[in-house]
Structure 1
């Protein structure tokens, strides 16, 4: 790979200084005297839309900080300028749930989950990063007995306003933008109410983005704004998802900033990098969109959960137990723009530094607010290699070409520009990403460059660019053989490491001055985002390695007397998650302590019973449950007393996650959880994860 890099450096250096006297060249004028284009609002990533950053919080130092630096630290890695986070709603929205700040109307807690932590980490690295919150789901009480969050616009506006205010008063975070409801219909009355409530609570700096739609009518809110002066005053930004670099004439003419407020969603290999490079330029060239935000920020959830295996992220960090992470191509594509611009810069006018290249590709030029700095980003991504996951990309052709940049206006006296270069290789070709080339001299106001295909050039007067490096990244390792979780040392309201809630919310609670439990805390079905309504009044959290077949699961479970669930379970071989959680099969060991009843079922719904019965040794409050799946048999114990030992039915999944949960929405506590791969002997410290106090039950 090093030799390939040297080849590219030598080749590109020659291309930058080649004599263009006899070569056909495309002259592009960069001139600010004709006026400037729209204000640049930044490039960003999304944490959310299904707990995408869950495992990132579980990394330990120094690797956790390294990952965060590659995402947010200026002049180091991606140097992202916008962080968009999910406002948790206690509900599933693709691969896991995120906790709400208000499980019920009288509850307020601004320490749940990890989005607060992530926003603070981003801000600590880049104080100028913009923060953007958007709900995907809502706790059930918002709908007042319906599945409509707009049932009471005042109630919903108060709920969102409290989240914005909590960010500010509890965490010192200014939320710059707030959205309506991810990819769901908007409500005009609610938008107006939200604007008034934010203003009346001293949160007038928080601007509203509408309407985060991915449907064919994604830009139609522009016409509503033009017909409704109060709505137009309430909405600051028109945001759409996966626009394919195109907006509408009506949206452009409306005059509001246009954003691709969710985009990319493509595997983070070279094709994903090429997709990202193309849309970062062409969202403005074609659609006048001044911000592009990637779903998602970092692939940091179990690889066998929905969408995780597709790695639709800017980078990958899904192994906190090993410290392994991967710096994928989109990180360095982001750097080409983000390290040399900032929100508040301006694009140059179309035809004067912004537009398509003669033989394919595109150019954007941006200038600083004081017009002292200039950054030019050129991409030549081929159609074959840069198709995003959506929408379909019509055919076009790109070929090698020469371009001459004519610097005019405020930049006519520039003498030298730094050059950063990426070449994406396909079909066995090597790649070179974000490589600093020798500075290029400006002669008589002109810069001449020869462009190949699938390349990115950044030419800039900004001299602070850097390709960050932390040396050797830890090797990838499988999930540890043993996991023992006690919860006393974990922070109140946090989530237990490695647990991934699929329905309900599992969070740490103090039960007295010395003890903490993991508690399922959602008391009623939430308002969903998934196309399928959650058909089960039940909760579940997953943990472990999906490939495991033979496992031992142990847990101490404590029933809660007020608002408690009637039943609890431990499980193995769970085969489904995400929006299909309600269809999950596996081996589920249910306990209904008040009735001293146990069941072993083949499904999360509890309908397909393998064996069951009653036992007077089942305590009505506190029980230790053990489930062993080994050599074709499954056995269960409660308080060390055997309850069943039977052959595993043929139609039970062969492998899957382990898990815990409740038979209904209601409180239930876990004081201990243990998971062991029964196929392997204990392998020593490197193969054992422990959280909380050091003891074995």
Structure 2
């Protein structure tokens, strides 16, 4: 909600008559009831005020794999998403894009491929980051590109990242970027792994000698400002580094109310960045983002802000499945969702540009009180236009702001845009209100709690209108011969979690293209978990199916087919919920189960004819209810019963350092493979949504309980947004407040019995707008299920079985 007034005060009708277009945009907002305003706060926007140069606001693609599925989206949805991320005047309009320099190792939500798997073997077309940077720069030629490594292939420095090898490796990446017509503006070292001053000095001299003298070095992309401290003691190190960047300067996953740097960092005179922040849900994290963008400069003179990540283009079982500014988890349906964080970012990026100057004397906290909110003002390079971004996330009531414009800045028309972050209605996000005509350089604005505002003399802002199609499951059967892809690319929907599975010419005399696991040694890890190579594909609703593939071992070791693959711990990506069919070159086979705690269980094992190396064989794993059946070259080698995992994706895997090939993937459905009736399993607890005591009485509460196939755990997704059990009882909540306990009731068509099953795994009440939630993130049998404000937690993610 906002209202606008000039000095002397005009009537409401005068304000509303500013322009016909703005009247329509603001009418509903202006006529709503407002909280009483506090005493007016005077703000002078002085063009003569000193301040640092603004570097931009943007996000990370990588760290890792979080953009993976975006390239697989169909048109026009793929272009729509890219527009929402990068196109000026449309959505987030990012000004900085930090891309991961892939290292064949998991770096949070997946692994990204290296341009140089083995020493001297460079391929500049691997992966999707080149494509994404090209798309970003095509939409915004002025976007600044940043490169940073999380992990690296193991050959580099014989496992030592701080080596000459890694410097040459990074320069090779810059060469690849140049081959794509991309100029990289900034280059970092090793993400969140400290710094080595000698290495940075050598990197600077190498960049200068290799024609990359204009590439600015960022140090150290870690927590704190130790690198800035060191630069004051080491002038050569200071000369090597142009930007000091620190992570989570406001606190990790915090409300971002206080965002200091350090006195030493400021005294260096270098560019200072909040070079990674966020890790928050694309909607629930928006208020923190609004605070952090402003307060990073107010508290610490940071002129760049980079959110992690740009987009969650991963399936909902992958860690951090709803972080970023948008969620895109279903390339097969084209469905996506644009978050409130998009519009928070837009409130800065659509009203400024890198090179603008902060106006220090025209920025601060409203009324000198952090709880009232913050504001920053910046002036254009033309020294006339300006914008002020205001956030009132913690305010308790409306506030009148009285502005005076001076110092050579334009006293012309002021345009006002606002976003109500306390509303879940997209119509309340990024709304243009009535223009203001200052009188003698003076005007007033009444701001409401929980909002972000941008006031500006510039034009060109806009809100994208593209709309997502409906969600839909990836249907079975599914097959891929891999022959349609170019060498070095990734097969559709295949998401590497460790190692690198990419398209290569088939071996052993076979024509066509195959998927090849390329990493032939343990990488320089970023995560603490020493995972072996594996990759996932498919829909989490897949329940009963047979996965079949041709395989070829290139060296001694083993290959694996994965079935019902589900969640894993991002710091231990080897700990995946799912089943594995493993076969060695010597013919030893096993059917195994694993979970997020790394509790491996061998369910069955034995020996068959040796696979050898350099020879093609066919493996299959059939999952039918609790019966698991494995076969080699069409002959069943083992059958076992286990009911731990009921639904999930398929995957390929190998032993560490084992190169192998895969071809002719086929997933064929079994009974009830994607039925609308089945279990709803909590992603955090791995227990099922359960009606207490198998009661069929109205009012019986629901909880989580060990999955047992009972009728009280079988939920049907209806076309009317109902979730029914026993055929005639609906999942129901008695109210719309957080904490309302979920129960069953006779179906009546009410909005309190309607639910949206989202691509990110959340189940959202139509009537409440709140998420189905396991109370307190509990995991024990009998833990209550309720509705709660959606926050991106895994206790609000559900897997259909």
* TM-score, normalised relative to structure 2: 0.76
Distance 1:373 1:15 in 2: 31
Matches within 5 A, 1:297-446: 297-308=310-321, 311-349=322-360, 351-358=361-368, 360-382=372-394, 398-411=396-409, 414-425=411-422, 432-446=428-442
Deviation at 1:15, TM superposition (A): 9.9
Tell me if 1:502 matches 2:473: no
Distance 1:335 1:319 in 2: 25
What does residue 215 of structure 2 align with? 206
Tell me if 1:224 matches 2:230: yes
Deviation at 1:565, TM superposition (A): 4.5
What does residue 679 of structure 1 align with? 671
Distance 2:669 2:392 in 1: 49
Distance 2:543 2:75 in 1: 32
Match of 2:560 among 547, 560, 569: 569
**Is the contact made by 1:565 and 1:662 (CA closer than 8 Å) also made in structure 2?**
no
Deviation at 1:93, TM superposition (A): 1.7
**Is the contact made by 1:207 and 1:236 (CA closer than 8 Å) also made in structure 2?**
yes
**Is the contact made by 2:91 and 2:464 (CA closer than 8 Å) also made in structure 1?**
yes
Deviation at 1:609, TM superposition (A): 5.2
Matches within 5 A, 1:622-637: 622-637=616-631
Match of 1:164 among 174, 177, 189: 174
**2:27 match: secondary structure:** helix
Cα gap change, 1:565/1:315 in structure 2, threshold over 3 Å: closer, same or farther?
farther
Tell me if 1:647 matches 2:640: yes
Match of 2:282 among 257, 265, 268: 268
Where do 5+ consecutive residues of structure 2 fail to align?
A: 1-21, 251-258, 676-801
Cα gap change, 1:102/1:549 in structure 2, threshold over 3 Å: closer, same or farther?
same
**2:353 match: secondary structure:** coil
CA-to-partner distance for each residue in 1:560-592, whole Å, 9 max, x for gaps?
A: 3xxx35321212133453432333353322223
Distance 1:620 1:111 in 2: 27
Cα gap change, 1:601/1:27 in structure 2, threshold over 3 Å: closer, same or farther?
closer
Match of 1:662 among 654, 674, 677: 654
Aligned length: 639
Cα gap change, 1:455/1:89 in structure 2, threshold over 3 Å: closer, same or farther?
same
**Is the contact made by 1:26 and 1:358 (CA closer than 8 Å) also made in structure 2?**
no
Distance 1:609 1:425 in 2: 50
Matches within 5 A, 1:27-38: 27-33=42-48, 35-38=49-52
Distance 1:186 1:6 in 2: 54
What does residue 734 of structure 2 align with? none
Deviation at 1:233, TM superposition (A): 0.6
**2:464 match: secondary structure:** coil
**1:149 match: secondary structure:** coil
**Is the contact made by 1:83 and 1:129 (CA closer than 8 Å) also made in structure 2?**
yes
Q: Which moved more, 1:79-88 or 1:625-634?
A: 625-634
Matches within 5 A, 1:58-137: 58-137=72-151
Match of 2:239 among 233, 237, 250: 233
Distance 1:370 1:430 in 2: 34
What does residue 485 of structure 1 align with? 480
**1:92 match: secondary structure:** coil
Matches within 5 A, 1:166-185: 166-168=176-178, 170-185=179-194
Match of 2:537 among 543, 562, 568: 543
Match of 2:58 among 44, 47, 55: 44
Cα gap change, 1:429/1:467 in structure 2, threshold over 3 Å: closer, same or farther?
closer
Deviation at 1:616, TM superposition (A): 7.2
Deviation at 1:458, TM superposition (A): 1.0
What does residue 515 of structure 1 align with? 512
Distance 1:69 1:43 in 2: 16
Tell me if 1:531 matches 2:528: yes
**Is the contact made by 1:423 and 1:431 (CA closer than 8 Å) also made in structure 2?**
no
What does residue 10 of structure 1 align with? 27
**2:276 match: secondary structure:** strand
What does residue 308 of structure 2 align with? 295
Cα-Cα RMSD: 2.8
Cα gap change, 1:485/1:171 in structure 2, threshold over 3 Å: closer, same or farther?
same
Distance 2:649 2:145 in 1: 34
Deviation at 1:154, TM superposition (A): 1.6
Tell me if 1:24 matches 2:39: yes
Distance 1:135 1:203 in 2: 18
What does residue 284 of structure 1 align with? 297
What does residue 599 of structure 1 align with? 590
CA-to-partner distance for each residue in 1:249-288, whole Å, 9 max, x for gaps?
A: 121122111110011221122x322111111111111111
**Is the contact made by 1:481 and 1:680 (CA closer than 8 Å) also made in structure 2?**
no
**Is the contact made by 1:628 and 1:636 (CA closer than 8 Å) also made in structure 2?**
yes
Distance 1:306 1:233 in 2: 38
Cα gap change, 1:354/1:102 in structure 2, threshold over 3 Å: closer, same or farther?
same
**Is the contact made by 2:26 and 2:434 (CA closer than 8 Å) also made in structure 1?**
no
* TM-score, normalised relative to structure 1: 0.87
Distance 1:17 1:476 in 2: 37
**1:250 match: secondary structure:** helix
Distance 1:528 1:320 in 2: 29
CA-to-partner distance for each residue in 1:581-637, whole Å, 9 max, x for gaps?
A: 3333533222234x3443323349987251322237999711121211113211122
Structure with bigger RCO (C-alpha 8 Å, 6+ apart): 1
Distance 1:513 1:342 in 2: 54
Deviation at 1:60, TM superposition (A): 1.4
Distance 2:210 2:378 in 1: 36
